[in-house]
Amino acid sequence: MRTSKMLRLRWAVAALALLAAGAMADAPAGASAATRNAVSLQEAFAEAARRVMPATVRVESPQGQGSGVIFDPQGRILTNEHVVAGARELRVRLADGRVFPAKVVGSDRGSDIAVVSVDAGAPLPAAELGDSDAVQVGYWAIAIGNPMGLERSVTVGIVSAIGRHTGATGSATQDFIQTDAAINPGNSGGPLVNILGQVIGINDHIISRTGENSGLGFAVPINTAKSVARQLVATGKVQRSRLGLWFEELTAEQRAALPDLVADTVPVRVSKIEPGSAAEKAGLKEGDLVLGADGHASQGGADLANRIQLTPVGGEVKLAVLRDGQRMEVVAHPEAAPPDPEAMRLGVLLANVTPELAAHIGQPNLHGVVVMRVYEGQLAWRSGVRRGQIITAVNGQATPDVPSFIKQYEKAAQAPEPVKLTVNGETVELKG
């Protein structure tokens, strides 16, 4: 694992050196080393954009528009599920201005990834898909897309975090790349790119008080998107896997006390194992510390859960485990996960109300969940729930965070009485 990272680093350094060699000729005569370096970096950004922009498209429907990226010259395009959800017809506008009708090959709300296709009659320029497992905090991040309808816009930032869990429902895959590259409405489905012009993520959503960029953008890792796309192309749907166990995060102090922990590893503790589950059959035990899976160092519970979910049913996942101070490898064979819970079919993306948001709206003691996105045509939309609203209870039972909302909603959805949400202090009855 360290060797492959070193090779990627050397490759990146070599690529930048080549870019610098070409860019120095454009630097003014007698320019300082700092100026020459700045020109070299500028050219690196420009070259990365030039490599990906021909493959960046605009996805249009009567409901709105988003972005996408061609990953197969035969016309297959990655985008977000929420960009195409409920669309009666789709069009794709290519970088050269041509417009084609498009069809949905398959979509997956759990990852918010969809594959659409067009028939252009000839091969199309396809972007190079990178390796999101190689992404590290602090790396450059370039977002390309069509924000506010402004086609093929490019913004630059860094990778702010990896393995980020935004506390959202409507997305079973909680393993986002966080970036401060500007992402706005219309960027959804477009590529997040590294300095070499390789796609490392599919831009997905933001957290903002205004609905516009606030420096908190999130992208689906491209390795997740690739895994989902393979299933969508093959079968039109995604079958998730499970081991039947729960993780809990360690504190910084607990991590620091672990012996010889590999740098950047975020281990998790197995807190519960279902009797008769794949985890129990594999020999995992409560209290085990999981350090990684399939040769990849753990980036936390979200990262591990994602790797397990996207392992083929009956396949093999190799877990690096620390038990009673002894390292070992546990081989598990995931089983099929059950269908999506009712809370996902509600058609909303939720996040916890943060103390900062509560203070901003003048209610510092407020606890609840904020609606980040509503899927048009779904139950919540039909009932009048909209983005930016805050839900504090389900059928009178408080929902101070996303897990409690899911629990209360699942319970309420099984009862014969209508489900009633407390939204911005008012009662909203869900109407099927």
- Is residue 22 pLDDT above 50, yes or no? no
Percent of the chain exceeding pLDDT 90 equals 44
Q: Would you state the torsion angle of the CA atoms of residues 336, 106, 383, 428, taken in this order, to the nearest 10 degrees?
A: 40
pLDDT at res. 353: 83
Q: Which residues pair with 322 in a beta bridge?
A: 289, 327
- Buried/exposed code over 115-132 (b: 16+ C-beta within 10 A; e: otherwise): bbbbeeeeebebbebbeb
Lookup result for tokens 């360290």: 2
pLDDT at res. 209: 64
Token pair for 357 = 């948001």
Are 42 and 33 in contact by the 8 Å Cβ rule? The answer is: no
Of these ranges, 142-146, 271-275, 376-380, the one predicted with the greatest mean pLDDT is: 142-146
Distance between CA atoms of 241 and 307, rounded to whole angstroms? Answer: 9
Radius of gyration of the chain (CA): 23
Burial (0-12, 13-18, 19+ Cβ within 10 Å), 243:
buried
| 285: number of Cβ within 10 Å | 14
Token pair for 344 = 């996902």
Cα end-to-end span (Å), the chain: 50
Lookup result for tokens 């009797």: 275
pLDDT at res. 21: 46
Burial (0-12, 13-18, 19+ Cβ within 10 Å), 183:
buried
pLDDT at res. 173: 60
pLDDT at res. 67: 96
Mean pLDDT across the stretch 382-387? Answer: 86
Range in 67-76, 260-269, 378-387 the model is least confident about: 260-269
- Is residue 297 pLDDT above 90, yes or no? no
pLDDT at res. 86: 76
Q: Would you state the torsion angle of the CA atoms of residues 385, 389, 394, 398, taken in this order, to the nearest 10 degrees?
A: 180
SS3 assignment, position 322 = strand
Residues 70-109 have pLDDT tens digits of 999 999 999 999 899 878 899 999 999 999 999 999 998 8
Tell me which of 308 and 362 has the higher pLDDT: 308
Active site residues: 82, 112, 188
Percent of the chain exceeding pLDDT 70 equals 87
Mean pLDDT across the stretch 262-287? Answer: 88
| 203: number of Cβ within 10 Å | 31
Token pair for 274 = 């279902």
What's the mean per-residue pLDDT of the chain? 85
Residues 116-136 have pLDDT tens digits of 999 999 999 999 999 998 999
Residues 234-252 have pLDDT tens digits of 999 888 898 988 888 888 7
Q: Identify which of 171, 170, 168, 107 has the alpha carbon closest to the alpha carbon of residue 378.
A: 170
- Is residue 310 pLDDT above 90, yes or no? no
- Is residue 291 pLDDT above 80, yes or no? yes
Distance between CA atoms of 327 and 262, rounded to whole angstroms? Answer: 13
Is residue 24 very low, low, confident or very high in pLDDT (cuts 50, 70, 90)?
very low
Q: Output the CA–CA distances (angstroms, integers) from residue 251 to 239, 267, 269, 411, in the order listed.
A: 33, 10, 11, 32
Are 198 and 152 in contact by the 8 Å Cβ rule? The answer is: no
- Is residue 367 pLDDT above 60, yes or no? yes
pLDDT at res. 38: 85
Is residue 342 very low, low, confident or very high in pLDDT (cuts 50, 70, 90)?
low
pLDDT at res. 14: 44
Helix or strand (DSSP H, E) at 242 = strand 241-242
Residues 153-204 have pLDDT tens digits of 999 999 999 877 765 444 556 688 999 998 888 899 999 999 999 999 999 9
